[in-house]
Amino acid sequence: MTTVRALILTGFGINCEEEMAAAYRLAGGVATVTHFNELLDGHVRLDDFDVLNLPGGFSFGDDLGSGKVLANRVRFRRLASGEPLFDAVRGFVARGNFVLGICNGFQALVKMGLLPDVGGASTQEVTLTRNDSGRFEDRWCECSVNPRSRSPFLTGLTRLRLPVRHGEGKLVLRDEAVRRAIVERGLDCLSYCDREGRPAAAFPDNPNGSELACAGLTDRTGRVLGMMPHPEAFLSLYNDPTWPQRKRALPATSEEGAGMSIFKNIVAHVAATKPGGDP
């Protein structure tokens, strides 16, 4: 059986690392939680892993805007070997590995230029900024999966009910060319939607006012995924405050939370496709 290894970074105010580690372990993977500095110092090697994860939280207290300082650390710090960390991350993806950023991790990925990277130059093309409501939003949202998405994290999924908890989740696109490229390539992989599955432009179905009702983006390869909702916060049905109504209405409802599907998907995909994996 192929071992799927997930590296989960923490430190500097990141605070969702243990939930993310639990998700990978429940999905059959091996999760390693490590401080960001251990990666920089060479105590942990990126190439020993299959999936790099940037969890949610409040890195650097959201100073300069959520995820910006963490993004700059990735872009401009060097590993102990002298290689720029950003080059190492891009090489990690180019070799067929995966990156997942959730909430604060998503904010960092867009601000370092790794998402959506429609131009291929790894420059910032979009941002995630303050919610239209002007306040921190902590609520459950319905999301629809773009059927054109190439992301193996989302294989076979059409709808997801997930919690959001952020103050800066509004996706803003740099210009019309970026918008057009995202839509044409299906990089807007996850959208806030209403109960009928239609893209939600208005609050509260859209909790932040994101353009394209966008709740998540991938890069052109589909191997980098960023999303504002927290799948690691819905690993069990009993995380959902409406679980009693759901269980009464459909007694056969799975006791597994919808967020688990994302982690099971990527663990299964890596296990089946990495050298020596099970077909």
| Residues 279, 272 contacting (CB under 8 angstroms) | yes
Average pLDDT, the chain: 96
Determine the pLDDT at residue 184: 97
* % of the chain at pLDDT higher than 70: 98
CATH number of the domain bearing residue 128: 3.40.50.880
Determine the pLDDT at residue 191: 98
- Residue 278 covered by a domain: no
- Residue 279 covered by a domain: no
Determine the pLDDT at residue 116: 98
pLDDT digits (tens, 9 = 90+) for 96-140: 999 999 999 999 999 999 999 999 999 999 999 999 999 999 999
Active-site annotation holder among 17, 19, 230, 269 = 230
189 is catalytic: no
Residue 277: which pLDDT band, with cuts at 50, 70 and 90? low
Determine the pLDDT at residue 275: 81
Question: Which of 257, 263, 241 has the alpha carbon at shortest distance from 138?
Answer: 241
Please name the helix (run of DSSP H) or strand (run of DSSP E) that holds residue 17, with its range, or none: helix 17-26
80 versus 2: which is more confidently predicted? 80
Q: Which residues fall within 8 angstroms of residue 40, CB to CB, at 6 or more apart?
A: 77, 78, 79, 80, 85
Instruction: Work out the number of other CB atoms within 10 angstroms of the CB of residue 170.
Output: 21
pLDDT digits (tens, 9 = 90+) for 169-191: 999 999 999 999 999 999 999 99
Determine the pLDDT at residue 64: 86
Domain count, the chain: 1
Residue 156: which pLDDT band, with cuts at 50, 70 and 90? very high
- Residue 195 covered by a domain: yes
Distances in Å between the alpha carbon of 5 and those of 16, 47, 49, 166, 203? 18, 10, 5, 28, 38
Active-site annotation holder among 103, 141, 143, 189 = 103
* % of the chain at pLDDT higher than 90: 96
Q: Show the beta-strand stretches assigned E in 66-120.
A: 98-102
DSSP-assigned letters across all residues of 124-188: --EEEE--TTSS-EEEEEEEEE-TT---GGGTT--EEEEEEEES--EEEES-HHHHHHHHHHT--
Question: Which domain, by its residues, includes 60?
Answer: 5-273
Cross-strand pairs, 35: 10
> pTM, whole model, 2 decimals?
0.96
Residue 1: which pLDDT band, with cuts at 50, 70 and 90? low
Determine the pLDDT at residue 274: 84
Distance CA 221, CA 117 (A): 10
103 is catalytic: yes
- Residue 60 covered by a domain: yes
125 is catalytic: no
pLDDT digits (tens, 9 = 90+) for 216-256: 999 999 999 999 999 999 999 999 999 999 999 999 999 99
Cross-strand pairs, 163: 140
Could you give phi then psi for residue 101, rounded to 5 degrees? -125, 130
Distance CA 45, CA 68 (A): 24
Determine the pLDDT at residue 278: 55
Distance CA 170, CA 183 (A): 17
- Residue 131 covered by a domain: yes
- Residue 27 covered by a domain: yes
- Residue 147 covered by a domain: yes
pLDDT digits (tens, 9 = 90+) for 35-85: 999 999 999 999 999 999 999 999 999 988 999 999 999 999 999 999 999
